[in-house]
Amino acid sequence: MSDLTATNQQILDFQAQLEAQDTSFPMLSVLNNDGQIVDEEALKRADLSDEDLVNIIKRMLLSRQLDIRSTKLAKQGRFGFFAPTAGQEASQMASSYAFNDDDWLMPGYRDIPEIVVKGWPIWKAILWSRGHVLGNEFTTEEGKPVNAWMPQIIIGAQYVEAAGIALGLKKRNKDAVAYAYTGDGGTSQGDFYEGMNFAGAYKANAVFFAQNNGYAISTPRSLQTAATHLAAKGWAAGLPSIVVDGNDPIAVYLAAKEARAWATSGKGPVFIETLTDRLEPHSTAGDDPLRYRKQADIDAWWQKEPLIRMRKFMTEKGIWSEEQESAYIDEVNALIDEQIKIADKVDKQKISNFIKHTLEVPGQAMTEQISKFESEGK
């Protein structure tokens, strides 16, 4: 029997395919964990001014303080559902800095900080966590619309929403995109692929992020999929897909900036996997990370969290200091204190309110229920 042709032999070499997946997605990196630039040309391409860098670290510090204060409020019973964000500040806040007010944000439930920096008041975020209807009003304090949808609780469903909005933006010739975030667990959901596939087929204006923080609640990344890189899943839908150091604010910003430019030029969506870590519990609803990971692992990741390298880089550059950071944190905490007071003063919802808000026009039975509960002061 004659030998296979070289082409056929290569096609049937399954082991080689697996190895190729591992080498096809190198990680984009600009700022290392020591706060040193490893690619000067990439830094130039990011085109970040000193003011931009200050804005980015302020966003990251705002996110960290929101995380700290929200966790405390949750423990006091004054906050509803909360998904901690510590460790993901670069993946969230540096990436979102590449987008503008005309772009549409489709967040997951861990992406409250990205909505806040688009102008959504913190007091509304608090009310959202408590299940109050005013928490679903996406407007600024001045009443200006905030181009964001409510944080998606259904894992991965925001990708489908983003695909629809992205197609609408394309059909209207808008210089804008829809950008969506999910976690590594979201990439195991059907909506994840369906959203990217739809957006890819129509070359819609979309940028998709998967924040690979290592765990889908308690399920480690290694048990979720055999894919060496989550970015490989974007190729299945025909999307340019990349892996980025999710703790590197400059690399994350550069990736998001380039992806937005690609999508708005009519070339279609981009999928970005950011490699990071969830340093705290999945949520404040009783999760204990030490039941599925080691404290030593968590401690090691705390040494690589994004604020450390950004702080080192900017301090060395002479545009940031411990005094500036302390003053800004005080400013943020004062703002959060004020926003908590506003949220606490909002009237609590009654049973009649819930029924009123179920349908735009209540039916006869619902109208009778509303009248009944209102007569009882409920």
What string of H, E and C letters represents the secondary structure of 329-344?
A: HHHHHHHHHHHHHHHH
Has residue 22 got a pLDDT over 90? no
Alpha-carbon distances, residue 289 vs 166, 217, 218 (angstroms) = 36, 9, 7
Q: Which runs of E-coded beta strand occur in the chain?
A: 27-28, 104-106, 178-183, 206-212, 215-216, 219-220, 241-245, 270-275
Confidence band, pLDDT 50/70/90 cuts, at residue 172: very high
| Complete DSSP assignment for 19-34 | HHHHHS-PEE-SB-TT
* Per-residue confidence (pLDDT) for residue 207, from 0 to 100: 98
- Architecture of 31-346 per CATH? 3-Layer(aba) Sandwich (3.40)
Residue 230 to residue 183: CA distance in whole angstroms:
10
Give the type of residue at 355: I
- Condensed to tens digits (0 to 9), the pLDDT of residues 250-300 reads 999 999 999 999 999 999 999 999 999 999 999 998 899 999 999 999 999
Percent of the chain at pLDDT > 90 equals 95
Reported residue count of the chain is 378
Residue 289 to residue 269: CA distance in whole angstroms:
34
* Per-residue confidence (pLDDT) for residue 334, from 0 to 100: 98
Token pair listed for 149 = 């949808």
- Condensed to tens digits (0 to 9), the pLDDT of residues 234-263 reads 999 999 999 999 999 999 999 999 999 999
Number of Cβ atoms within 10 Å of the Cβ of 332: 20
Confidence band, pLDDT 50/70/90 cuts, at residue 303: very high
To the nearest whole number, what is the mean pLDDT of the chain?
A: 96
Would you give the DSSP letter of residue 84?
-
Has residue 133 got a pLDDT over 80? yes
Has residue 32 got a pLDDT over 70? yes
pTM: 0.95
Matching residue, tokens 């990251």? 60
> Which residues have a catalytic role annotated?
278, 282, 292
Confidence band, pLDDT 50/70/90 cuts, at residue 3: confident
* Per-residue confidence (pLDDT) for residue 347, from 0 to 100: 93
Has residue 166 got a pLDDT over 90? yes
* Per-residue confidence (pLDDT) for residue 21, from 0 to 100: 87
User: What is the end-to-end Cα distance of the chain in Å, rounded?
Assistant: 85
Has residue 1 got a pLDDT over 90? no
Has residue 26 got a pLDDT over 60? yes
* Per-residue confidence (pLDDT) for residue 255, from 0 to 100: 98
* Per-residue confidence (pLDDT) for residue 210, from 0 to 100: 98
Number of Cβ atoms within 10 Å of the Cβ of 326: 10
Residue 34 to residue 42: CA distance in whole angstroms:
17
- Condensed to tens digits (0 to 9), the pLDDT of residues 324-352 reads 999 999 999 999 999 999 999 999 999 99
Has residue 215 got a pLDDT over 90? yes
Q: Report the alpha-carbon angle 61-184-227, nearest 5.
A: 140
* Per-residue confidence (pLDDT) for residue 81, from 0 to 100: 87
Judged on CB neighbours under 10 Å (0-12, 13-18, 19+), 172 is exposed
Q: In terms of Cα–Cα distance, which of 143, 82, 78 is closest to 113?
A: 82
- Domain limits, CATH 3.40.50.970, in the chain: 31-346
